[in-house]
Structure 1
Amino acid sequence: MQNRIASSDSALFDALKRDGFSFVTADVMRPLLQASGDLSDWNAFAASWNQLGPDPYLAATGRLRRRRHATYTAMAHGDVELAPHQPHYQTLQYNRLQGDIERWFEPVEAAMANGASLRTILAFCNDFFSALAPEVSRWHVETHQFRIEASPDAAGEPTPEGNHRDGVDFVLVLLIDRHNIASGTTTIHTPDGKPLGDFTLTRPLDAALIHDPRVFHGVTPVLPLEPTEPAHRDVLVVTFRAKA
């Protein structure tokens, strides 16, 4: 897979190794994904964001977000297996807002968790991240469906914890849809706060690839363009962490 990645877009592979992050436009991301599988259920996959449940932990702080969550185990360059449903956990070191608690979210719908599009995305991530970390033989993988909603009275906060790391090895942030929103700019920083870059995911399949131990990332709040219409930003976040 490393050779395939390098031959199709060596700049992407090299940029992540060199800089710790890369912005990938949809016209580059789509063929990379299609080299790993198919996206035949993409319309149903994208529509499943309409079925997300509220994030009860964030609602307790007065913020609004919808999400679903699933966990997988992956052998490097091999099979990716759906694991039993389990909580999402981060320490306070990585999540100052909601760290040190087990957070249970509604599971990704079974048809989507085992569907073509998500399986293709996971296969791409497994091969790409495994090529970047050849010493890892097995991965703990988490997938998060996020919908950030905005209103004239309250901006949507894609990263309410601010600039942060996720406490994993690698992260994919994939845009699924954005409707009637402005901003939502991804910012990348060094651990001491020096800005390294920024970009905005605007088209479905625009993506950010992040080497989490090396850089911090955040997303600016989103606001509705037309105040009287619904406004949302839908993303899929996939994290890979080396499994002992």
Structure 2
Amino acid sequence: MSVSPDAVVPADLVAALRRDGHVFVHAAELQPRLASDVGLSDWPQVAQSWDDMPLDAYMADGGRYRRRRYGVFSAGRDGAIARESHQPHWQSTDYNRLNGGIARWFEPIADDIGASASIQAVLQCCRGAFNALAPDTPHWHIEMHQFRIEAALDEAGQPTPEGIHRDGVDYVMVLLVRRENIACGTTTIHAPDGALLGSFTLTDTFDATLLDDHRVFHGVTPVVPIDARAPAFRDVLVVTFRGADAPTDPLP
């Protein structure tokens, strides 16, 4: 399943990302572009897949507020985007002071979800934007994370428990899938010296931010329930791109 990247990636989005190192994209702009080629006909089934995720068993703070699935893909500058065999997620403690330094084996994203038209549309959109920013990168290593952050009165949900950080990749997309009965969850963007560059809240399905991970840091404020009697959570899809030929920290 393939689509011309130029069909879904507006030039002004790429220009803003090149200029500022980050860009917030409203759902009203992004959703029609994702739907224009590959399509989003299976989005309800994709969004529903957030409902059966296991707890993240690697939380060094002891928190039980994060559910997660993970998958790895690879791609050239065009053509098919391939699902790779399941493998651990690795970050050094330079990038993740809380949970880094170990190989984390998360449950895999379901095969049918990874191969869905909606997920392929998101991946194609990311590749189009990041190709434009990195014209000399021939191959991409892509990691995808499904996150559900749950909130309760006795335990606020921490979308970024490691604090303000970089991910240790080249580029990042964070896409909101669903917010249910929560307040807060504001994304903040920072310069390497900590200076605040911007802030916004992902509120609508398909609201998204794209980041140049070499240039900016990011974080998200904790989420809390509005009604303590009802389920409260924040579902996001995080996709990271790294040049496949770039050196990376080895697994221990």
TM-score (normalizing by structure 1): 0.95
1:136 is the counterpart of 2:164: no
Looking at structure 1, the residues matched to 69 and 212 of structure 2 have their Cα atoms a distance apart, in angstroms, of 23
Give how far 1:13 is off: 1.3
Matches for 1:69-218 after TM superposition, within 5 Å: 69-218=70-219
Looking at structure 2, the residues matched to 59 and 99 of structure 1 have their Cα atoms a distance apart, in angstroms, of 9
Looking at structure 2, the residues matched to 5 and 50 of structure 1 have their Cα atoms a distance apart, in angstroms, of 28
Matches for 1:26-41 after TM superposition, within 5 Å: 26-41=27-42
Give how far 1:98 is off: 1.2
Indicate the structure with greater strand content.
Answer: 1
SS at match of 1:56: coil
SS at match of 1:209: strand
> For 1:164-186, what per-residue CA distance to the aligned partner results, in whole angstroms no more than 9, with x for missing partners?
00000110000000000001000
Indicate the structure with greater helix content.
Answer: 1
Taking every aligned residue pair, what percent have the same amino acid on both sides?
52
SS at match of 2:124: helix
Looking at structure 1, the residues matched to 56 and 179 of structure 2 have their Cα atoms a distance apart, in angstroms, of 19
Give how far 1:77 is off: 2.4
Q: 1:141 to 1:2 in 2, by over 3 A?
A: closer
Q: Indicate if the aligned counterparts of 1:2 and 1:131 stay in contact, CA closer than 8 A.
A: no
Looking at structure 1, the residues matched to 177 and 133 of structure 2 have their Cα atoms a distance apart, in angstroms, of 25
> For 1:128-187, what per-residue CA distance to the aligned partner results, in whole angstroms no more than 9, with x for missing partners?
211111110000000000000000111100000000000001100000000000010000
Looking at structure 2, the residues matched to 60 and 222 of structure 1 have their Cα atoms a distance apart, in angstroms, of 16
Match of 2:249 in 1: none
Q: Indicate if the aligned counterparts of 2:141 and 2:242 stay in contact, CA closer than 8 A.
A: yes
> For 1:57-95, what per-residue CA distance to the aligned partner results, in whole angstroms no more than 9, with x for missing partners?
017623420000000011112321000000000011110
Looking at structure 1, the residues matched to 12 and 156 of structure 2 have their Cα atoms a distance apart, in angstroms, of 35
Match of 2:14 in 1: 13
Looking at structure 2, the residues matched to 2 and 75 of structure 1 have their Cα atoms a distance apart, in angstroms, of 12
Q: Indicate if the aligned counterparts of 2:170 and 2:242 stay in contact, CA closer than 8 A.
A: yes
Q: Indicate if the aligned counterparts of 2:56 and 2:64 stay in contact, CA closer than 8 A.
A: no
Q: 1:124 to 1:36 in 2, by over 3 A?
A: farther
Give how far 1:31 is off: 2.1
SS at match of 1:88: coil
Q: 1:127 to 1:197 in 2, by over 3 A?
A: same
TM-score (normalizing by structure 2): 0.92
SS at match of 1:27: helix
Q: Indicate if the aligned counterparts of 2:16 and 2:23 stay in contact, CA closer than 8 A.
A: yes
> Over the residues paired in the alignment, what is the CA RMSD in angstroms?
1.4
Give how far 1:126 is off: 1.3
Q: 1:210 to 1:159 in 2, by over 3 A?
A: same
Looking at structure 2, the residues matched to 219 and 78 of structure 1 have their Cα atoms a distance apart, in angstroms, of 34
Letter paired with 1:12: L
Match of 1:232 in 2: 233
Query: Gapped runs of 5+ residues in structure 1?
Result: none
Looking at structure 2, the residues matched to 191 and 11 of structure 1 have their Cα atoms a distance apart, in angstroms, of 25
Looking at structure 2, the residues matched to 226 and 61 of structure 1 have their Cα atoms a distance apart, in angstroms, of 24
Looking at structure 2, the residues matched to 82 and 67 of structure 1 have their Cα atoms a distance apart, in angstroms, of 18
Q: Indicate if the aligned counterparts of 2:5 and 2:127 stay in contact, CA closer than 8 A.
A: no
Q: Indicate if the aligned counterparts of 2:68 and 2:148 stay in contact, CA closer than 8 A.
A: yes
Looking at structure 2, the residues matched to 127 and 26 of structure 1 have their Cα atoms a distance apart, in angstroms, of 18
